[in-house]
Amino acid sequence: MLKDFAEVVRYRELLLNLVIRDLKVRYKSSVLGFFWSLTNPLLQVATITIVFKFIMKLTIPNYSAYVLCAFLPWTFFQMSVLDSATSVLFHGHMVKKTYFPREILPASIVLSNLVHFILALGIFFIYLLILGTPILITWLLLPLIIFIQLLLNMGVAFFVSCLNVFYNDIKYVATVVLSLLFYLTPIIYLAEQIVYSGRVPAAYKPLVIGIYTVNPLSFLITAYRKLLLPGYNAAGIHDIPLNYWYLALAAATSLLIFLAGYAFFNSRKWYFAEQV
């Protein structure tokens, strides 16, 4: 695996050029460019805020910021997985005709989504300034969380992109799983609501908490919220501070998924040319 990684380092210019190409193609064909691809999350969050604030009467101040803070890393994860699923097939002509480390294809997709995510975070911080939420020392930990999520996204992207070469319907499976995962991850609701909500029947509580615990994305997205936004105290929901042990667990799971995904990808990558 180290040898494979060294080869990627040797081909880093190709990786960089593919990331640049991806961003250029994405932003070139539209006049609004970058802002165009931000309108989707912004519209989603506006809708969610209206639903929660005015229809469901949730009283947490600046709830939209908490939703957006989770929605942006979620989008980063979702787009990394969906875009990378077809990455090898899309570059089939390159795979068939040239030698290069194949993992560069899904990796470039994840990295260009990372750039996009960081740009979106910039907009998010401007939004925080407008709302007037306090500047926190824990903002400094943001790069660490982003790095952990990068490992997770890469690992899943390796699995999905590799499997999709051999089984064409993996991308549809991924779409379905992602749409379920969206509701199983605390994005439109808060992590505390899982523990404190009296609405979850006692019989289901271990299952719900179990799902939350095995999903590293839950901890990561909760960590984004805890690090970037102040605690909340509203009717029935008491803020639980960030538990760094859970974050460490998420980091370990993410690393494991990354290593397993890369090993899986490497064991099959030299058969792609025969398959695409």
Partner 1 sequence: MEAIAVQNLHKTFRVSHERTSSLKALALSFRRARYEDVHALNGVSFSVDAGETVAVVGKNGSGKSTLLGVMSKVYRPTSGKVVMNGRVSGLLELGAGFHPDLTGIENVYLDGSILGLSRREIRKRFDEIVSFAEIEQFIDAPLRTYSSGMVMRLGFSVAVQVDPDILLVDEVLAVGDEGFQQKCYGKVREFQRLGKTIVFVSHDLKAVRDVATRAIWLDSGDIRADSDVGTVLAAYLSYSVGEGNNSVAP
Sole binder of partner 1 in the list 1, 130, 167, 241 (CB under 8 A)? 167
Q: Does residue 36 bind partner 1 (CB under 8 A)?
A: no
Q: Residue count at the site for partner 1 (CB under 8 A)?
A: 30
Please identify, using beta-carbon distances, which residue of 100 and 127 lies nearer to partner 1: 100
Smallest separation, CB 163 to partner 1 (Å): 9
Angle between helices 34-50 and 104-131 (to 10 degrees): 60
For residue 85, give Cα distances in angstroms to 97, 154, 168, 172, 175: 21, 11, 9, 10, 10
Please identify, using beta-carbon distances, which residue of 76 and 272 lies nearer to partner 1: 272
Q: How far apart are CA 102 and CA 265, in angstroms?
A: 9
Q: Does residue 99 bind partner 1 (CB under 8 A)?
A: yes
Q: Does residue 97 bind partner 1 (CB under 8 A)?
A: yes
Between β-strands 233-234 and 237-238, what pairing exists: parallel, antiparallel or unpaired?
Answer: antiparallel
Sole binder of partner 1 in the list 139, 147, 166, 244 (CB under 8 A)? 166
Q: Does residue 201 bind partner 1 (CB under 8 A)?
A: no
241 DSSP assignment: P
Please identify, using beta-carbon distances, which residue of 15 and 228 lies nearer to partner 1: 15
Region at 190 (left for phi over 0; alpha for psi -120 to 50; beta for the rest):
beta
Residue in 218, 204, 195, 200 with CA at minimum distance from that of residue 70? 218
Q: How far apart are CA 152 and CA 160, in angstroms?
A: 12
Q: How far apart are CA 110 and CA 115, in angstroms?
A: 9
Burial 113-127 (b: 16+ CB within 10 A, else e): bbebbebbbebbeeb
Please identify, using beta-carbon distances, which residue of 68 and 104 lies nearer to partner 1: 104
Sole binder of partner 1 in the list 5, 21, 179, 231 (CB under 8 A)? 21
Smallest separation, CB 156 to partner 1 (Å): 18
Q: Does residue 170 bind partner 1 (CB under 8 A)?
A: yes
Among the candidate windows 6-14, 184-192, 201-209, 235-243, which touches partner 1 by CB under 8 A?
Answer: 6-14
Report the interface residues with partner 1, using CB under 8 A: 11, 13-14, 16-18, 21, 24-25, 28-29, 93-100, 166-170, 173, 270-271, 273-275
